Structure 1
Amino acid sequence: MSDVDGLFAKAQEDVKQLPERPGNLTLLRLYALFKQATDGDVHGDKPGFTDIVGKYKYDAWAALQGTSQETACQQYVELVESLKNGTAA
C-alpha cells in the first residue's frame, strides 16, 4: 500500500466524520473523485432524464475523464482535508 493509498483510505473514513454535511456540489466532487480513483474513467450508459441525481453523478464523473487514478486519490484527500479544516470553497 503506497502513501497515497493510505491517505485515501484515511480520507474515506474522515469524510464520514465531518462536523457538517458538505453542499451538493462538494458532494458531487467527492463522488466523482472517489469513482475516478477507484474505477477509473466513466463507463456504462448515462442515466436518462428521469434519473436527475444519477445524471449529475455521471456527468461529474465524466468530467474527470483522463485523470489518473492516483491524481484523483490525491485530489480527494486534499478536498477532504480542506473540508476538515473549514477551508473548502
Structure 2
Amino acid sequence: MDITQLFEKAVAESKTLSEKPANDTLLKLYALYKQGSVGDTNIDPPSNPFDIVNKAKYNAWSELAGKSKEDAMQEYIDLVEKLKHGQ
C-alpha cells in the first residue's frame, strides 16, 4: 500500500476506536488530517471571537504550515496506530 492508501485506512480506523481520544488528541488528528489531505491552511480564520472550537481547529492546522502532506499523513497513521493499541 502507498502512503495515501495507508492514510485513508487510518482515517477509517480512527472512526472506530474503542475509546474517544482526549480533546487535544482529537485536535491533533484534525490538524494532521487537514494538512495531509489539503496542505497548508487555505481558509480564513474564524471571524467570530467566540467560536472557540473552530478557532482551536484553525490554529492547530495552521501550526503545521510547511509540513509536507506525506509527513502529515505518516504522523496521522502513527497516531491512529498508537490510539488503536491504547497508548
TM-score interval, smaller chain: over 0.9
Matched, 1:36 2:35: yes
Question: Root-mean-square deviation (CA), in Å?
Answer: 0.9
Q: Show structure 2 runs of 5+ residues with no match.
A: none
Using the aligned pairs only, state the percent identity. 51
**Number of residues of Structure 1 aligned to a counterpart in Structure 2:** 86
Which aligned runs of 4 or more in structure 1 are off by greater than 4 angstroms?
A: none
SS at match of 1:45: coil
Which digits, 9 at most, give the CA deviation of each residue in 1:40-80, with x for residues without a partner?
00122111312110100000001100000000000000000
Give matches, 1:9-24, under 5 Å.
9-24=8-23
Q: CA deviation at 1:3?
A: 1.3
Give the TM-score normalised by the residue count of structure 2. Answer: 0.94
Distance 2:52 2:28 in 1: 16
Give the TM-score normalised by the residue count of structure 1. Answer: 0.92
